[in-house]
Structure 1
Amino acid sequence: MQRVTNCIVIENNHVLLIKKPRRGWYAIPGGKMEAGESIKEAVTREYREETNLHLQDPELAGVFTFSVDTEDTFIQEWMMFTFVAYAYNGELTDSSPEGELEWVPLEIIEQLPMAEGDRKIFQHVKRSQELLYGAFTYTEDYQLLDARLDPS
């Protein structure tokens, strides 16, 4: 099973997001873990690779299982560890190979085009600091079929 990490960086009521060119969806910067890395090492490395920013004290905010299924066939599954951070060092890169970086006001996050699972994660992070556990099931074209969250 693939393991990925990402981090929601909040500064001045804005969140740094990356707009992915493939679908035009906004996403939380991060990426795949490498063998032997801790989740905190992975999120720090991936965030720096995509943004040029070095996270300061990222805190685990959620642990999720994602799967992509057709009606009768399992296609893909991965685990995602989402962190939140309020401080960083460095200067934001002018360009990222993963997409366009943008500081987005917290109050409009949920209106942006993004994966529905990410939208649910943002809803939780905006209202609670409690660790969120969840499982999301998507179709092949990333339409959300099911979301189970704890706490709900």
Structure 2
Amino acid sequence: MQRVANCILMHEGQILLLKKPSRGWYAMPGGKMETGETIKEAAVREYREETGIHLREPQLAGVFTFNIFNQDHLDDEWMMFTFVCKEFSGELNAYCREGELEWQPLEQIAHLPMAAGDRKIFEHVLVSNKILYGNFAYTKDYELLHSRLDPQQMDNG
């Protein structure tokens, strides 16, 4: 099972996002955990590698499992640990090999193209300080099949 950590950095009414070139979808900067890292260390390292920004005191906001299906066959399974942070240091990289880094106003987040699961995570994080736990099932083409979320405010089936 693959493990990834990412972070939602909020600053002056904006969120720093990564626009991935493959689909044109926006995502939270982050990536794969390395052996021996804590989830927080992975989130801070990956964020710094992609953005040039050093997160200060990120807080865990969600823990998620993802199942990717090819028809009825489970193709891939991974876990994602999402942090939220409001304090940082450093300068934003001019270039990121993963895509384009963009500050987006909070009120635009709901209108940006992104994975359906990421949208549900943002919907929760922008209105609640509770940790969100969830499971997302996707097709191999990243169409959301269903999700289960706790606290249960946005489940679909």
* TM-score between both structures, scaled by the size of structure 1: 0.99
Within 2, Cα distance between the matches of 1:88 and 1:57?
A: 8
Superposed, which structure 2 residues align to 1:1-152 within 5 Å? 1-152=1-152
Within 2, Cα distance between the matches of 1:28 and 1:66?
A: 16
Within 2, Cα distance between the matches of 1:72 and 1:151?
A: 28
Aligned length: 152
Q: Secondary structure at the match of 1:127?
A: coil
Within 2, Cα distance between the matches of 1:86 and 1:79?
A: 24
- RMSD over aligned CA atoms reads 0.5
Please list every run of 5 or more consecutive structure 1 residues that lacks an aligned counterpart in the other structure: none
Q: Secondary structure at the match of 1:69?
A: strand
What's the offset of the Cα at 1:71? 2.6
> 1:4-29 CA deviation, whole Å, 9 max, x = no partner?
00000000110000000011100000
Within 2, Cα distance between the matches of 1:38 and 1:85?
A: 17
What's the offset of the Cα at 1:72? 1.8
Within 2, Cα distance between the matches of 1:23 and 1:113?
A: 9
Within 2, Cα distance between the matches of 1:4 and 1:72?
A: 24
What's the offset of the Cα at 1:70? 2.4
Q: Secondary structure at the match of 1:110?
A: helix
> 1:29-51 CA deviation, whole Å, 9 max, x = no partner?
00000001000110010000000
Please list every run of 5 or more consecutive structure 2 residues that lacks an aligned counterpart in the other structure: 153-157
Within 1, Cα distance between the matches of 2:24 and 2:63?
A: 25
Aligned-residue sequence identity (percent) comes to 62
